[in-house]
Amino acid sequence: MSTSKLLGRALFACFLLWAGDLLAQTEDAEAHQLLTVLAESSSTQKKAAVLQIAGSGDVRSRGWLESFANNKLGRIESSGQFIIVLENRGRNWTVESALTGENLGEISRRDIDTVRVNNALRNELEGILSVIDLKSPEEHSRLTAARALKGSVDGTLAERLPELMNDEKSDAVRAALTEALAIYKVEEQGDVAAVATLSGSLNSEARAALQQAMRSDDAALVAAATEAMASIEQKLTLNRAAETLYFGLSLGSVLVLAAIGLAITFGVMGVINMAHGELMMLGAYTTWGMQQLMPGQPGLALILSIPAGFLVAALAGVAIERTVIQHLKGRPLETLLATFGVSLILQQLVRTVISPLNRTVITPDWMSGSVMINEALSLTLNRLYVIGFALVVFAGLMLIMRKTRLGLEVRAVTQNRAMARSMGIKATKVDILTFALGSGVAGLAGVALSQITNVGPNLGQAYIIDSFMVVVFGGVGNLWGTLLAGMALGTINQLLEPWAGAVLAKILVLVFIILFIQKRPRGLFPQKGRAAEG
């Protein structure tokens, strides 16, 4: 740690001597020499070689260092020519010349020696690149660079920072720079005035600096730092609570998605469908299939997978209903065993036809990463979308069940089949449609799950038990119950996990449900009235 930091300092100092402009271009022979030194020195000496390149002032050096940091700088073994790798998948790589930028086409991997980089070097390189980026015309890259500087400012840079801050137009960048400077001042100079800047900061480097200040001999500094830390701790606790709640809701929404289709087939129709998980798997594979059909447009493919996944799973559901379930009406044990068999068949079918290996489903850019609320709390985007999606699906289902003719008929048939039929409702047709609806929703769940878990033949198995748990806990036949139960179980699980561990948390939730069902056999929201007795 200390050596790398020291080297980092030397580097910044040297670097800032020329950081003014990047206009010159060295002779190609000289540039080739610089890169040769980099390629041939051992990993400990590479830092010096990087310094030399940075100090050369060559306009291409940023590109070299960036591709070096990304492990994309290499050399052709036979000719010794330096290259930048553009595409590095498979056995042949697409490359361009590092010196001239000329595209050299595909070259066999056997003939390419990459210039090795490691984490420590990458850290140094990031430092250099962020100093360069502080002068970038784009606000976004300046902000990223300023944030990256927190905790790695050195003496030379600290002298230059006020000047940079004066020229800075963006408030956010200036705030980040101020904080970076304050961390340096607290850490290195024990500056009491700077402590106030850090008060309330959620940055982990700032916290480390304050903790260090609390151990110092200067009583005034210790008092100021302790006070600042107290306010930070308070904020952190709040953020932790908000984060846990978010985790709980996001796990809950996954459970709701997985269970809500089951709430219809099991809850409303009374069919125990063990192949429910595999219907979800089909939905997830549909997403994968759509992305294969539309290469380069993962986002559009994902959106189109929503109706496609629904249709595929619904059709599979109808096939299961017609071939298996309708012949076993009123025999729950046989239905359970038969649908379990169907689930195994579907799994093996996917294994044989597609592959036993997991498939890669691409997460579109607008769904990856996270929204930063503050430096201690950021909400992961894919989960945020899943929460929203779960709520939309739930609302849609409620609408169908409450406001449409189909919903009315479904409710009629489930409450009293004979009476409904005598009123002219085609019970068989309603059965098919209901099962198709429940299965289709399982397909939707699969589409959502493809974004947060593995798409493989075992996807369904992981969720079937949880789905039944949610439906039973919420009260069979009640969609609101399913929503509440899913969210509650998710939150309880996430509350328990930090101190009980994942395995024990799961067990505790199960025990809790068993005890709860003992007390209230019909779940959170039992069905009332004569229909429930039937």
Partner 1 sequence: MQKRVALLTNGATHSNAKDDEMSIKKHVKLGLSALALSISFNSVAAEDPIRVGILHSLSGTMAISESTLKDTMLMLIEKQNEAGGVLGRQLEPVVVDPASNWPLFAEKARELLAKEKVDVIFGNWTSVSRKSVLPVIEELNGLLFYPVQYEGEESSQNVFYTGAAPNQQAIPAVDYLMNDIGVERWVLAGTDYVYPRTTNKILETYLKDKGVAAEDIMVNYTPFGHSNWQAIVSDIKAFGGAGKKTAVVSTINGDANVPFYRELGNQGIDAADIPVVAFSVGEQELSGIDTGPLVGHLAAWNYFMSVESDANYDFIDAWVAHTGNEEAVTNDPMEAHYIGFNMYIEAVKKAGTADVDAVKDAIIGVSVPNLTGGFATMMPNHHITKPVLIGEIQDNGQFSVVWETPSTVAGDAWSDFLPGSKDLISDWRKPLFCGNFNVVSGTCGAQANVANK
Q: What are phi and psi of 455, to 5 degrees?
A: -100, 105
d(CA 182, CA 191): 8
> Closest CB to partner 1 among 270 and 364?
364
Q: What angle do CA 49, 51, 57 make, to 5 degrees?
A: 110
Indicate whether 123 belongs to the interface with partner 1 (CB under 8 A): yes
Residues 491-510 close enough to bind partner 1 by CB under 8 A = 493-494, 497-498, 501-503, 506
Indicate whether 356 belongs to the interface with partner 1 (CB under 8 A): yes
What does DSSP say about strands 103-108 and 112-114: parallel, antiparallel, or unpaired? unpaired
Indicate whether 80 belongs to the interface with partner 1 (CB under 8 A): no
Indicate whether 353 belongs to the interface with partner 1 (CB under 8 A): no
Rounded to the nearest whole angstrom, what is the least distance from the CB of residue 119 to partner 1 in the complex? 5
Indicate whether 359 belongs to the interface with partner 1 (CB under 8 A): yes
Among 15, 64, 247, 435, binds partner 1 (CB under 8 A): 247
Largest separation between any pair of C-alpha atoms in the chain: 94
Indicate whether 201 belongs to the interface with partner 1 (CB under 8 A): no
Indicate whether 297 belongs to the interface with partner 1 (CB under 8 A): no
SS3 track for 365-431: HHHCCEEEEECCEEEEHHHHHHHHHHHHHHHHHHHHHHHCHHHHHHHHHHHCHHHHHHCCCCHHHHH
Indicate whether 119 belongs to the interface with partner 1 (CB under 8 A): yes
Letters for 155-194 (x = contact with partner 1 by CB under 8 A, - = none) are ----------------------------------------
Asked if 525 and 478 count as a contact pair (C-beta separation under 8 A), the reply is: yes
d(CA 246, CA 233): 20
Interacting stretch for partner 1, rule CB under 8 A, among 83-91, 95-103, 163-171, 190-198?
83-91
> Closest CB to partner 1 among 363 and 414?
363
Separation of CA 454 from chain center: 12
Among 225, 251, 257, 338, binds partner 1 (CB under 8 A): 251
Rounding to the nearest 10 degrees, give the CA dihedral for residues 450, 453, 458, 462. Answer: -120
Query: Could you write out the DSSP letters of every residue in 167-221?
Result: H---HHHHHHHHHHHHHHIIIII--HHHHHHHTT---HHHHHHHHHHHTSS-HHH
Rounded to the nearest whole angstrom, what is the least distance from the CB of residue 487 to partner 1 in the complex? 14
Interacting stretch for partner 1, rule CB under 8 A, among 112-120, 189-197, 389-397, 473-481?
112-120
Cβ partners under 8 Å of residue 498, min gap 6 = 244
d(CA 518, CA 470): 15
Among 33, 189, 234, 348, binds partner 1 (CB under 8 A): 348
> Closest CB to partner 1 among 304 and 495?
495
3-state secondary structure of 518: helix
Indicate whether 137 belongs to the interface with partner 1 (CB under 8 A): no
Asked if 239 and 376 count as a contact pair (C-beta separation under 8 A), the reply is: yes
3-state secondary structure of 74: strand
Interacting stretch for partner 1, rule CB under 8 A, among 8-16, 201-209, 435-443, 515-523?
201-209
Letters for 36-55 (x = contact with partner 1 by CB under 8 A, - = none) are -------x------------
Q: How many CA atoms lie within 13 A of 197 on its CB side?
A: 19
Indicate whether 278 belongs to the interface with partner 1 (CB under 8 A): no
DSSP letter assigned to residue 264 = I
Contacts to partner 1 by CB under 8 A: 1, 43, 70-71, 88-91, 109-110, 113-114, 116-120, 122-123, 126, 204, 207-208, 211-212, 240, 243-244, 247, 250-251, 254, 348, 351, 356-360, 362-363, 368-370, 378, 380-383, 452-454, 456-458, 462, 493-494, 497-498, 501-503, 506
